[in-house]
Structure 1
Amino acid sequence: MRELKEVQGIVFKRRKYKDTDLIVKIMTKNNGIISLIVKGAMRPKSKLNAATLNFSYGTYVIYTSGHGLSSLRTYKEVKQLDGIYDDLIKNAYASFILDLIDHAFVEYQSIGKYYDLADFAIHKINEGVDPEIITQIVQMQLLTAFGVQPELHRCLICKKAEGIFDYSIKLGGIICSDHFNDVQSRLYLKPKQTALLRTMGLVPIERLGKISLQSETKLATRKAIDRIYRETIDLNLKTKKFLDEMKFFS
């Protein structure tokens, strides 16, 4: 049975449907990811069109049965993240973040803390915080949503929590220097790079202060995170491909 419901969320995908309608995806905290049909949105002067642009956020009033395609009735207090919408680089990073979360959950499944993670991340990107650092943090913290739970607190072998560490994808977490000679599958990261991966994965994003990294360190952690995703999850996202192409030509 369909009911009228108010949801707070972020619009992150949209496509044309029939002549004047749109299909819009919105990410909400308690109701998960919802696909909405927005009737008449492509008509001239439609207010629904402006309210459902990508990176719009606010309160949307929808008809929904809790599964399948819902429909947008109206909206309240919708704003747009103009800094992302108008900037190709910010747009690419934010699109990738939201696409990742979209692939980690099925529709209407509550995403809880990951909504807060996405909301905080894209607002920081909108404000001008380094989008690559923000994206790497999200990637590390989103691993658990994909069923990958890397051990970042202590050495997988001897449980040592302090010292010099590296990361092993095969073993699924960090190993201390006492076992470097025994583990051939480690990534051979520098101690600072492994420490950064641990920080990104363990510290709540809202508690992280200003992070300023050398380009060499960012590149190393990016390659490490890309390998972790490629070898444990193996996603093939268009948003990631576009992001990589954009970095190649920048």
Structure 2
Amino acid sequence: MARQLKEVQGIIFKRQKYREADLLAKIMTKNNGIITLLAHGALKPKSKLGASLLNFSYGTYVIYFTGHGLSTLRTYKDVSQFDGLFSDLTKNAYASFILDLIDHAFIEYQNLGKYYNLANFALQKINAGTDPEMITQIVQMQLLQAYGVEPEMRHCVICGKKQGKFDYSIKSGGILCSQHFDTDPGRLHLKPKETAVLRTIFLLPFERLGDIKINTATKTATRKAIDRIYQETIDLNLKTKKFLDELKLNE
């Protein structure tokens, strides 16, 4: 595919020095997937490109688009920043993990579909002061489908029952009603309320979940449950997750 000049809307989420004065930056775009941009001379003192490639910047970028490998940043317009994410270590850690998680679910240039909107929703909410832990859990549950893991959360995987007390079974790939708890002794042993939270944040459109509030004990239990689901079904090893876990240990 020949290079073409193209405007893309997106969010910058990773950057690194490349050669002497160049930058490589990853951008999550609305319509063209995740692209690695080469910005020539962006680290030179007089360059205006560097400021547009700070993490959590978003706006319109004019690029030489290739469709594979590196694309090149030519210029930009209307670029702003999620200032709250950039200046707050905790918010920064949650936002970085969320974008890293989405990044690993897709190959470059693969259209993200609704997951771009999910990323944008999450960053806006965290930036505005919504509980970042809860927003992250919403993203993790809603992103399972993108990783090819789609647990059955609407009804018991064995009998189809929709009402009652439920627990989550990784082995069975979804929820079990209390009549079938004995089919998996290794189920997560969650309280009914905790399973209900997992079901809600998985099934409801994320736009309706922005202000969900649960107590600390429930939130801790659902976080551990989601971590186990990821560890045992996807087995990612993200530096951003390790940093987030360390941050929580030091709170």
Place the TM-score, normalised by the shorter chain, in its bin: over 0.9
CA distance in 2, matches of 1:149, 1:166: 16
The letter of the residue matching 1:44 is: P
CA distance in 2, matches of 1:87, 1:100: 20
Q: Match of 2:67?
A: 66
Q: Match of 1:188?
A: 189
Q: Match of 2:22?
A: 21
Please tell me the root mean square deviation across aligned C-alpha atoms, in Å: 0.8
CA distance in 1, matches of 2:103, 2:239: 13
Q: Does 1:153 align with 2:154?
A: yes
Q: Which runs of 5+ in 1 are unaligned?
A: none
Q: Does 1:211 align with 2:215?
A: no
Q: Match of 2:56?
A: 55
DSSP 3-state at the match of 1:226: helix
Deviations 1:149-184 (A, max 9, x none): 000000000001111100000110001011112321
DSSP 3-state at the match of 2:36: strand
Give the TM-score of the pair, scaled to structure 2. Answer: 0.98
Deviates most, 178-187 or 218-227: 178-187
DSSP 3-state at the match of 1:180: helix
DSSP 3-state at the match of 1:181: helix
Deviations 1:83-130 (A, max 9, x none): 000000000000000000100000000011000000001110000000
Deviates most, 37-46 or 154-163: 37-46
CA distance in 2, matches of 1:191, 1:137: 18
The 3 A distance-change label for structure 1 pair 26 and 209 is closer
CA distance in 2, matches of 1:179, 1:104: 32
Q: Counterparts in 2 of 1:46-195, with a 5 A limit?
A: 46-195=47-196
Aligned length: 250
Q: Is the 8 A contact 2:43 2:50 kept in 1?
A: yes
Deviates most, 180-189 or 81-90: 180-189
CA distance in 2, matches of 1:45, 1:82: 23
CA distance in 1, matches of 2:40, 2:183: 61
The alpha-carbon deviation at position 207 of structure 1 amounts to 1.2
Identity %: 70
Runs of 4+ in 1 over 6 A off after TM superposition: none
Q: Which runs of 5+ in 2 are unaligned?
A: none
The alpha-carbon deviation at position 209 of structure 1 amounts to 5.2
The letter of the residue matching 1:216 is: A
Deviations 1:1-30 (A, max 9, x none): 100000000000000001110000000121
CA distance in 1, matches of 2:218, 2:72: 45
The letter of the residue matching 1:126 is: N
Q: Is the 8 A contact 2:7 2:63 kept in 1?
A: yes
